[in-house]
Amino acid sequence: MRGSGTPRAKLPTWLEVTGEVAEPESSGLWHAALFHRDTAEFETQACLFAEDAVRAGAAVLIIGPASGRDRLRRGLGGLNDHVTWADVPETGANPGRLISAISRFAREHPGRATWCVQHIAWPSRPAEEMWEVLRHEALLNMALAGAPVRMLCPYDIHLPQELISCAEATHPVICPHGRFQPSPRYDDDFLRLVPAECDRPLTSPPTGARVLTYADDLSAIRHLVSLQASAAGLSPSRAGDLLIAVGELVANTLAHAGGPGTLTMWTTDAEIICQVSDPGHITDPLAGRLRPGPAADHGGRGLWLVHQLCDLVQVRTSKGGTTVRVHMRLAESG
């Protein structure tokens, strides 16, 4: 029996959705963007989704901000014991961590389908984070293709239209008015895996940013990162994480790029930012998104570790070179 949370709206339950879009017996990834008008509509749909997942015997994961968790818990009532909850600050502050986290959850429940509510987009989220959310959504289609995973991704319709359009382009299924349908913008073509809107060049570093070119001697890199982290007020543990992350990026330059690299650093009121640029080209779009296995011989562990340590990671790569920008918040995440 449901708790005293948000009442049901007149929306289809998940196991009643018909057609190729969402048949419950269909195999492979089912990835839908729910365009909701308000919090009540989102909560109703999320609870319906979780309830039907439990009935179907699926493993249920809800990822989202802690601020909305209590209302969803009340809405689910006695079903809470069947749901695994993951707060955004721990699991998804950096969207680049999420594919690995979802894949790990699925492996922990062998023989069962995984149903996941992925609430990681909201109007107050900074634009640069939102574009990385949508990059993650695009890459998720490739990473989990063929997996028995059903993803519900809520998007507030009051988000800027360019973000809504990109959500339509990165989700095979959309729900604009309480009914699920194929997205007319989605192109099932891995050659166009990441929409151009998510791959725009990064903004230029500000005037006054510290710049250091390196080729082999990394002592100056370590000194600059430590000095800037201390000056910004980063805690010792977080400063250590940043030093490790930058060290991994610089090591990638020396191992794979075949040329010198450049470190650029600056600080804002909220975060410290480090950018590493080199002439290398990352050809695997999922590099760093999935944890390499112990037998992997193609590398990738460094970039995966960078994603785990930093609050936001932005990668732009082409045959002309690669830039990786990492962000570390000055205030600890809760």
Q: What is the H or E stretch that residue 115 is in?
A: strand 114-118
Final residue of a structural domain among 199, 221, 249 = 199
Specify whether 128 is located in the same domain as 147. yes
Which tens digits make up the pLDDT trace of 108-142?
A: 999 999 999 999 999 999 999 999 999 999 999 99
The closest of 187, 184, 104, 185 to 149, measured between CA atoms, is: 104
Q: Kindly state whether residue 5 falls inside one of the protein's structural domains.
A: no
Say yes or no: 221 and 191 in one domain. Answer: no
pLDDT number for residue 292 = 82
Are 58 and 117 part of one and the same domain?
Answer: yes
Please tell me whether residues 186 and 96 are part of one structural domain: yes
| Residues 129 and 191 placed together within one structural domain of the fold | yes
Is residue 77 included in any domain, yes or no? yes
The answer on 66 and 154 residing in a single domain is yes
For residue 229, give the CATH number of its domain: 3.30.565.10
This prediction has a pTM of: 0.89
pLDDT band at 295 (very low <50, low <70, confident <90, very high): low
Residues 221 and 282 in one domain: yes
pLDDT recorded at residue 217: 78
> Which tokens go with 36?
């909701």
Catalogue the long-range contacts made by 212-219 (C-beta closer than 8 Å, 24 or more residues apart): 212/262, 212/263, 212/264, 213/260, 213/261, 213/262, 213/263, 214/250, 214/253, 214/260, 214/261, 214/262, 214/263, 215/260, 215/261, 216/254, 218/247, 218/250
Comparison of pLDDT for 228 and 194, the residue scoring more: 228
pLDDT reading at 15 higher than 80 = no
- Write the single-letter amino acid at 14: W
Tens-place pLDDT, residues 51-65: 999 999 999 999 998
Model confidence pLDDT, tens digit, residues 153-207: 999 999 999 999 999 999 999 999 888 999 999 987 755 678 888 999 999 999 9
The residue among 171, 199, 227 that closes a domain is: 199
- Let me know whether 283 and 178 are in one domain: no
Domain shared by 189 and 227, yes or no = no
pLDDT at position 263 is: 97
Q: What percent of the chain has pLDDT over 90?
A: 70
Confidence at residue 302, expressed as pLDDT on a 0 to 100 scale: 92
Residue 59's domain comprises 14-199
Question: Is 4 contained in some domain?
Answer: no
Q: Which of 170, 199, 228 is the C-terminal boundary of a domain?
A: 199
Q: Are 243 and 226 in contact (CB under 8 A)?
A: yes
Q: What is the pLDDT of residue 46?
A: 93
Answer with the residue of higher pLDDT: 334 or 72.
72
Residues 242 and 320 grouped into a single domain = yes
Q: In terms of domains, do 33 and 177 share one?
A: yes
Residue 325 lies in a domain: yes
Average pLDDT over residues 136-150: 94
- pLDDT tens readout for residues 262-274: 999 999 999 999 9
Number of domains present in the structure of the chain: 2
Residue 334 placed within a domain: no
**CATH number of the domain enclosing 132:** 3.40.50.300
* Helix residue spans in 56-126 (DSSP H): 69-76, 88-91, 98-107
Answer whether residue 204 is part of any domain: no
Predicted local distance difference test score (pLDDT) of residue 268: 95
Residue 161: its pLDDT value, please?
96
Is pLDDT above 70 for 334?
no
User: What average pLDDT is seen over the chain?
Assistant: 87
Is 9 inside a domain boundary?
Answer: no
Nearest-angstrom CA–CA distance, 192 and 49: 30
Read off the pLDDT band of 259 (50, 70, 90).
confident
Do 316 and 260 belong together in one domain?
Answer: yes
Integer CA distances (angstroms), 8 to 25, 244, 296, in order: 25, 48, 48
Of the candidates 297, 202, 203, 300, the one whose C-alpha atom is nearest the C-alpha of residue 248 is: 300
Residue 3 placed within a domain = no
